[in-house]
């Protein structure tokens, strides 16, 4: 490759590529592969949501609009949170964003500078690490441990990782890739710690509806006051099968309003009004569809758990939320690169796509992530192939 004719920031040049994408791209050249690698299902967005976007386009809703989202969507989100959590939000705490990732980036831009750090509970979705690194900060990882009862976080280790340059703590609950849900006593203790230390708490609650032992996952919004240093991020991608739409939102402290509005202006100048009209439809008329989606994912999880439980050399960490499972294959161990090599061989030789646990940071070593947001037919085929690959390898 020719040397660049210009200079880029070292922080950008040194960003690591995603191991998930490394495996995913291999699948483009493998016919008939069953991909369970990325965080989306096999369903296109349902028709009534698509129709709402088309109608808005036909009505000419194609102009610039409110930076934090159209009033109808902000009100729909206020009503939505009230129905889920019995909390009263004000519109000045809500910002509609161009994806959940965009919400994360805006928050990180507002908090992290060169030399600062963010403490992240891992294993977790790796894009948050890169967001911090882009800003010249350090993502500090505190690993959970997994066993037959699920995943467990040592709060003392989390708090000990913080110092005078810690600007935020990031926690995903329910978690990706673990499906872990933070217990209430830990949520309270973490919020109290952040209040006392004046550290921002970023709660990734994108999978709050994809939980199978209760109607909705607990939220930090149930505990936080409007002035607490808490940012709660959510997305339309998973719950409503809208990954390609790139629509999300955040609930922020009242004090963050000016900064976030300013950053939206300089990043995107606000979102597309016709897509936001469809999001209103998803929230106001989509509850029965969401229940169906959750039941479908639970069925997929139960099928995968049953099949994996009888496979030799495989151990699964149970989870009651998200649409992922973390599993171990006996011979992988925790050798660097072993899980990635295994996933690459599995794509080519077994025609099944999984993500290496090392992609998700500390605590993911030796694991593979499986996304079960698929039809039972596709999952059955994937499990047949996976079992056959294990027998041959």
- Domain extent at residue 189: 47-285
- Residue 363: strand, helix, or coil: coil
Torsion angle in degrees (nearest 10) through CA of 327, 333, 339, 345: -100
Residue 337: predicted pLDDT: 83
- Is the residue at 90 inside a domain? yes
Please state whether the peptide bond connecting residue 18 to the residue before it is cis, i.e. omega within 30 degrees of 0: no
Q: Provide the mean pLDDT of the chain.
A: 95
- Is the residue at 5 inside a domain? no
Which residue, 231, 255, 285, sits at the end of a domain?
A: 285
Residue 1 pLDDT greater than 60, yes or no: no
Tell whether 119 and 27 lie within a shared domain: no
CA–CA–CA angle 211, 212, 215 (5° rounding): 70
- pLDDT for 328-354, tens place per residue? 998 787 676 889 999 999 999 999 999
Residue 331: predicted pLDDT: 79
What integer is the mean pLDDT of 220-224? Answer: 98
Which residue, 249, 269, 285, sits at the end of a domain?
A: 285
Please give the backbone phi and psi of residue 20, each rounded to the nearest 5 degrees, phi first. -60, -45
- Is the residue at 254 inside a domain? yes
| Share of residues in the chain with pLDDT > 70 (%) | 98
Label residue 20 by pLDDT band (50, 70, 90): confident
326: CATH: 3.90.1150.10
Residue 2: predicted pLDDT: 57
* Strand-by-strand arrangement of the 230-235 sheet: 94-97, 248-251, 230-235, 200-204, 166-172, 117-122, 138-143
Count of domains in the chain? 2
Q: 308-345 burial, b if ≥16 CB within 10 A, otherwise e?
A: beebeebbbbebbbbbbbbbbbeebeeeeebbbebbbe
SS3 content of the chain, % helix, strand, coil (to 5): 45, 15, 40
Tell whether 38 and 101 lie within a shared domain: no
86: CATH: 3.40.640.10
Cβ-proximal residues to 185 (8 Å cutoff; 6+ apart), any chain: none
Tell whether 268 and 345 lie within a shared domain: no
Residue 3: predicted pLDDT: 61
Lowest mean pLDDT among 19-33, 124-138, 275-289, 370-384: 19-33
Strand 166-172 to 200-204 pairing: parallel
Which residue, 248, 263, 285, sits at the end of a domain?
A: 285
- pLDDT for 367-385, tens place per residue? 999 999 999 999 999 999 9
Token readout for 124 is 């977790």
pTM for the predicted model, two decimal places: 0.95
Q: Round to the nearest angstrom and report the end-to-end CA distance of the chain.
A: 37
- pLDDT for 226-272, tens place per residue? 999 999 999 999 999 999 999 999 999 999 999 999 999 999 999 99
User: CA 140 to CA 218: how far, in whole Å?
Assistant: 25
Tell whether 324 and 209 lie within a shared domain: no
């Amino acid at each position: 490759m020719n040397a660049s004719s210009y200079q880029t920031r070292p922080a950008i040049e040194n960003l690591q590529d995603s191991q998930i994408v490394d495996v995913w791209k291999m699948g483009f050249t493998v016919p008939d592969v069953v991909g369970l690698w990325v965080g989306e299902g096999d369903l296109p967005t349902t028709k009534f949501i698509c129709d709402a976007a088309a109608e808005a386009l036909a009505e000419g809703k194609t102009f610039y609009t409110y930076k934090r989202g159209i009033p109808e969507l902000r009100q729909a989100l206020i009503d939505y949170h009230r129905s889920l959590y019995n909390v009263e939000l004000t519109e000045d705490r809500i910002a509609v964003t161009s994806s959940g990732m965009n919400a994360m980036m805006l928050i990180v831009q507002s908090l992290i500078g060169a030399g600062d750090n963010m403490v992240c509970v891992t294993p977790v979705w790796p894009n948050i690490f890169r967001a911090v690194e882009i800003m010249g900060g350090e993502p500090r990882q505190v690993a959970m441990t997994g066993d037959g009862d699920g995943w467990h976080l040592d709060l003392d280790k989390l708090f000990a990782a913080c110092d005078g340059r810690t600007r935020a703590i990031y926690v995903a609950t329910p978690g990706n890739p673990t499906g872990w849900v933070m217990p209430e006593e830990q949520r309270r203790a973490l919020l109290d710690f952040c209040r006392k230390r004046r550290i921002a708490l970023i709660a990734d609650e994108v999978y709050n509806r994809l939980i199978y032992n209760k109607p909705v996952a607990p939220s930090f919004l149930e505990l936080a006051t409007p002035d607490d240093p808490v940012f709660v991020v959510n997305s339309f991608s998973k719950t409503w099968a809208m990954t390609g739409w790139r629509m999300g939102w955040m609930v922020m402290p009242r004090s963050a309003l000016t900064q976030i509005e300013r950053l939206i202006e300089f990043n995107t100048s606000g979102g597309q009004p016709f897509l936001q009209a469809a999001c209103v439809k998803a929230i106001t008329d989509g509850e029965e569809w969401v229940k169906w989606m959750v039941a479908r994912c639970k069925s997929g999880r139960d099928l995968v758990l049953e099949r994996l439980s009888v496979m030799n050399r495989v151990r699964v960490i149970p989870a009651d939320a998200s649409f992922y499972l973390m599993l171990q294959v006996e011979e992988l161990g925790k050798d660097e690169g072993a899980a990635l090599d295994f996933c690459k061989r599995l794509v080519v030789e077994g025609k099944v796509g999984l993500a290496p646990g090392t992609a998700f940071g500390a605590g993911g070593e030796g694991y593979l992530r499986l996304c079960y947001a698929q039809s039972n037919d596709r999952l059955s085929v994937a499990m047949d192939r996976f079992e056959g690959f294990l027998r041959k390898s």
